[in-house]
Copies of this chain bind each other. A is one copy, B any other.
Amino acid sequence: MTRAPAETQGEALTARQQAVLDAVLSLMVEKGSGLTMTAVARRASCSKETLYKWFGDRDGLLTATVQWQASKVRAGNFDRQTLDAGALRESLKRFAANWLEVISSPTSIALNRIGVSQAAARDGNLGSIVLANGRFAIGKRMMPVLEAGREAGLLDFDDTETTFRTFFGLVGRDIQIRLLLGDPLTLGKAEIARDAERATDQFLTLYGTAANDPGRTNNA
């Protein structure tokens, strides 16, 4: 699955339309939920009539924006071959760092805020879209790694989903909720690397087998 258009409506977006959605993204980051159609039209240098013609209504525009952003963040999958203890640890660290970068990026914060706001109102269509492209997307990419680690005798667990959720918690901790609620928390490259390493170490302490890291004395 190298390339997936992923647009549910399958409507190939023109370059102009993508530019409009990028304008929406930039406005979301700047203005937050105070996002008006007029502001979008002005920022994108297009008419409101065009916005409504292309995206139907405000909700359609937001939905298209979320999916557009999601299509830009598809990270590459890992290669299942040559999975020794070091490669597994590296894969975990890379996933953790990638996830921390995503959830601490202004774009992700703005998008998740929009999703949460929408979920609060009527049928949370946008919320589920954000969820599918965030939490569940990372899970879908992550769980094969865990299972490969188990097959290689490096990890020991029963339920993949539960195990992933533990890793998710060790990585994210309180970061996402704090950022969503406006905590002026900033994650630099160094902090992300350190957090990813710590989370990976803790995860391997909980789920790693003796074969995983012979240097350690503790074996669950």
Contact = CB atoms under 8 A, between A and B. Distances in A.
Interface of A: 32-34, 110, 112-122, 124, 127-128, 130-131, 134-135, 165-166, 168-174, 176-178, 180-183, 202, 205-206, 217-220
B135 A177 contact: yes
B33 A174 contact: no
Given A113-B119, A202-B206, A124 B181 contact: yes
Contact of A169 (B110, B130, B170, B205): B170
Given A127-B183, A130-B181, 10 more contacts: A32-B122, A112-B181, A116-B116, A117-B117, A118-B182, A128-B183, A134-B181, A169-B169, A202-B206, A218-B218
Contacts of A205: 205-206, 218, 220
B166 A202 contact: yes
Of A130, A168, A182, A183, most buried by chain B (CB within 10 Å of CB) is A182
A120 B32 contact: yes
Contact of A131 (B112, B172, B181): B181
Contact of A116 (B117, B124, B166, B171): B117
B181 A119 contact: yes
A111 B121 CA distance: 13
Nearest to A124: B182
Contacts of A114: 120
Given A117-B33, A169-B169, A171-B169, A177 B178 contact: no
11 contacts: A113-B117, A113-B120, A115-B182, A119-B180, A119-B182, A127-B182, A128-B181, A131-B182, A169-B171, A170-B170, A180-B180
